[in-house]
């Protein structure tokens, strides 16, 4: 799913990409704080069990340089643009949980395409890490992947049978 977030990032218009902060190719502390707040909005208290600070840098390693810079700048861009466009005035992480949820929902439901894309990319980034960490399955009420959890019958395919 992290690669889905990266592909959503690539849909951000070039004119907006030029206005983004200089590429960092890493998540700074403020970026990780924004992503942590987004995780709490999406999952509530279960998100505290996620190890986002250690797993997010690994996500950047799967992307080429241009994708790394763009994805790494999304949380701070989201925070800065939220202050102007929602408007929240205060940093995203200092807002109440209700206001954070409303701000994220505003991005996800916006009529402006690039706002929806940024919101979805951040949402996908958080979701991709929630479903890969077994330590949080119970906290987020995720029963785990189907493979290995359910026995699925395997029927040999014979020639001449429909596939």
> How confident is the prediction for the chain on average, in pLDDT?
76
State how far the Cα of 106 lies from the Cα of 86, in Å rounded to an integer.
7
Instruction: Report the percent of the chain where pLDDT is more than 70.
Output: 74
Return the domain boundaries, the chain: 2-136
The pLDDT confidence band at residue 85, using thresholds 50, 70 and 90, is low
* pLDDT at position 47: 74
Catalogue the E-assigned strands of 106-153.
Answer: none
Residue 24 reports pLDDT greater than 70: no
Q: How far, rounded to the nearest angstrom, does the alpha carbon of residue 91 sit from its chain's CA centroid? A: 18
| Residues 25 and 72 sit within 8 Å (Cβ to Cβ) | yes
Q: At a CB cut-off of 8 Å and minimum separation 6, what does 100 contact?
A: 37, 38, 40, 41, 92
Query: Is pTM, for the whole model, over 0.75?
Result: no
Residue 3 neighbours by CB distance under 10 Å: 13
């Amino acid at each position: 799913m992290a690669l889905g977030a990266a592909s959503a990032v690539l849909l951000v218009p070039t004119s907006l990409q030029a206005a983004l902060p200089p590429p960092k190719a890493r998540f700074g502390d403020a970026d990780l704080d924004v992503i942590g707040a987004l995780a709490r909005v999406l999952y509530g208290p279960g998100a505290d069990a996620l190890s986002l600070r250690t797993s997010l840098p690994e996500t950047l390693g799967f992307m080429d340089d241009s994708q790394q810079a763009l994805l790494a700048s999304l949380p701070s861009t989201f925070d800065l643009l939220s202050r102007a466009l929602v408007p929240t005035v205060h940093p995203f992480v200092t807002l109440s949980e209700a206001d954070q949820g409303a701000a994220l929902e505003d991005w996800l439901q916006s009529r402006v395409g690039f706002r929806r894309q940024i919101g979805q990319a951040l949402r996908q980034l958080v979701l991709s890490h929630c479903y890969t960490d077994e330590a949080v399955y119970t906290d987020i009420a995720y029963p785990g992947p189907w493979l290995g959890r359910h026995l699925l019958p395997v029927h040999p395919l014979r020639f001449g049978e429909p596939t």
